[in-house]
A and B are shown apart, each in its own frame.
Chain A
């Protein structure tokens, strides 16, 4: 399951980031690291990007990137 599969209001715990290089580095620097809980807050009016809550701040990223972040759903 990936971050893109979560619906607004659902949370998940990051398991693995499936990207490489600079993009991965950037995601890590912004707090997208394994073990962190993320909650999907909103989907933009046109269906993309997503707004997620991570480490107590709001981050927006596209579904195509969210799709490469493996998560495990948490209740």
Chain B
């Protein structure tokens, strides 16, 4: 009996696969990632500009007892890819052949989306269409006959609103149904007309004859079409050369009847079909309302206002970042250096750990990690605004407005997006270069990204401006960001004249309509971006802090940190920095360790300048309860101050983490730097070598260490030179 059961379930399995792979494909910005997030509860990155997803990502969930794997693909306009991320999507669909494709279609832009649908259908994989953005289509007064599209194309068509989860259940139900081989729906791909179909037939027969069918039986039609078009990738994959006799023969008639350009013939044919279907299935309202997007763009992209609006929004982002985050940074600093350290100390006294452990924990771990944690508020605030820029649709506008300027340095507007993302973190910015068409732009953009001052450099500026420039901290911060941008322009121009000679790239980009991101989504994606800093602090930075502590306390029993291993190395390196105004071993050690991640510059300073733990102990007699109360009260104070900052100040508020304390790192910095050398130091930190993770990202993205090497080389020289000019120049004119 057991055997019989077994047999039965096996039989069931043969026509109902236990696990299904559903690929989600479509034009860029159609809502693919949003849809998967709604279906699988994932938090894939979403943004209102084309090219958010640059890597294939998958999400799994259970559906009526089956394992469903959804694969999120980068958006693409065609199956003859143009950019690297499009190649990823194309290769996946062609070579991995998912069980079913969910084709996400932007219902407000039916014709161009259907053009891609037709190409997907050529693949012969069962297809279910999500007619997404249905809410926006309705708002425009569009009436779409989904059934007509379904019956014409031989697929299922389900209206969806991915942001609200509408139509999702029905979509997954249909996708699963279509995936079952037993019910294999023949997606009767629309006919491309007698001439083309005949040529396809001939090519298919010949290819089959040769036994060359690298991408499976069903893709033969697609392959034949690509061979007729002369698609380079397919020619290469099949090993068929463009002037093969059978190809010539098969297309002979086509060429004679329709001209030599078969690629264009097929594009025209597909667009003809897409346009015809759109005309029949879509009913537009008689009178078109002037849409919100157009009204906003009338200002934002205005001839005269465009640039001021851009500058103002950038300035607002910086101002709000510091206004809102400042008070919380102060609060966190107080909590970590106060109650938290006290608790750790009492705990350690209680269990009577040796002195060196106390030092490791307070001077190493808490001082090191704490120095970085304190800056989570501005980092999260920055991520929040970047998420807002991405979600609203302004990102693409910024690229549009800035294109002319980028052109001057040999780039184009699209490069502007990775550069802007770089202000959050350089690592995702390097990956975002994938949306650029040619390798030259990619490399040039990636080389300039490290000059965009990322969140991790912020702690350094804040500490130093807090000590030396608290009266005009906003201006000083601004000047650093601006300096980075100006040097990027200069380096871009130099690279264009040297390493990257050749013609300037083209700029072709879709401008999506403005959309209001939901608060929930904003928060989720801010968190997703910012959490890496938190994780990094708890793992990477913690480990490095411990490592640095040992570096500063070995050989065992060393009297002064100066004679420790790290101290000795730093002393050897210090003379290099002397002409820049900070030739101390303390500064050198923080710069050396800061190569790993720039926040570590302050971590190391926290450890190098940390007062001996035991000296501090006496004054504390507060109970845990009092501590907690104090934490709460000061948090409320921070909230109030943040609100006040936003509305009352016109300048940029300062972060004054622990200004009062005279024993800590601030006091030590005040003793060891002058305002001039402090500024030179900040500039040096801004410019010198990208952090390790960025270097790895560059290696990963380009498959070679070459560009990482170029970045290290040019940035070291640039940082030293600029800091030198600032320090020595400043001394010449008598500052500092």
Contacts and interface: CB of A to CB of B under 8 A. Distances in A.
Interface of A: 22-31, 33-36, 42-49, 51, 55-62, 64-65
A67 to B, nearest CB: 12
Nearest to B513: A58
Given A25-B263, A26-B77, A59 B510 contact: yes
Given A44-B403, A61-B507, A29 B78 contact: yes
A36 B511 CA distance: 19
A48 B403 contact: yes
Given A29-B80, A42-B301, A47-B404, A56 B506 contact: no
Interface stretch (B106-114, B417-425, B473-481, B555-563): B106-114
A60 B507 contact: yes
A25 B513 CA distance: 25
Contact of B267 (A29, A46, A58): A29
Given A31-B115, A55-B112, A62-B506, A46 B82 contact: no
A45 B303 contact: yes
A59 B508 contact: yes
Contacts of A34: 268
B306 A29 contact: no
B80 A25 contact: yes
B18 interface: no
Interface string B156-192: 0000000000000000000000000000000000000
B115 A59 contact: no
B523 interface: no
Contacts of A29: 77-78, 80, 82, 115, 267
A31 B275 CA distance: 10
Contacts of A62: 403, 407, 412, 506-507
A36 B110 CA distance: 15
B405 A46 contact: yes
Contact of B307 (A22, A35, A45): A45
B371 to A, nearest CB: 42
A56 B111 contact: yes
Contact of B109 (A47, A57, A64): A57
Given A59-B508, A65-B508, A33 B267 contact: yes
Contacts of A26: 77, 82, 508
Contacts of B306: 44-45
A28 B274 CA distance: 13
Interface in B385-425: 400-401, 403-405, 407, 412-413
Contact of A30 (B412, B507, B510): B510
B56 to A, nearest CB: 20
A65 B267 CA distance: 19
A42 B404 contact: no
A49 B413 contact: yes
B403 to A, nearest CB: 5
Q: Could you say which of B304, B400, B405 has the most chain A C-beta atoms within 10 Å of its C-beta?
A: B400
A40 to B, nearest CB: 13
Contacts of B78: 25, 29
A22 to B, nearest CB: 6
Interface string B505-528: 011111111000000000000000
B403 A57 contact: no
Contacts of A23: 506
Given A47-B404, A51-B400, A60 B511 contact: yes
Nearest to A22: B82
A48 B507 CA distance: 10
A34 B303 CA distance: 30
Given A44-B301, A59-B509, 7 more contacts: A22-B82, A25-B82, A29-B80, A45-B306, A60-B400, A60-B403, A62-B506
B526 to A, nearest CB: 28
Nearest to B140: A56
Q: Which residue, of A24, A48, A49, A61, has the highest number of chain B Cβ atoms within 10 A?
A: A49
B510 A58 contact: yes
Nearest to A36: B271
Which 6 residue pairs spanning A and B have beta carbons closest together? A45-B306, A46-B404, A29-B78, A58-B511, A28-B267, A29-B77
Contacts of B238: none
B510 A57 contact: yes
B401 A44 contact: yes
B50 to A, nearest CB: 10
Nearest to A25: B80
22 contacts: A22-B437, A24-B263, A24-B264, A25-B80, A25-B263, A28-B267, A29-B77, A29-B78, A29-B82, A43-B303, A45-B306, A45-B404, A46-B405, A49-B507, A51-B301, A55-B109, A55-B112, A57-B510, A58-B512, A60-B511, A64-B506, A65-B506
Contact of A45 (B109, B268, B302, B508): B302
A16 to B, nearest CB: 10
B509 A56 contact: no
Contacts of B404: 44-49
Contacts of B297: 42
B403 A49 contact: yes
Contacts of A31: 111-112, 115, 271
A27 B509 CA distance: 10
A60 B404 CA distance: 12
A18 to B, nearest CB: 12
Contacts of B506: 23, 61-62, 64-65
Contacts of B510: 30, 57-60
A34 B261 CA distance: 13
A64 B336 CA distance: 57
A21 B405 CA distance: 27
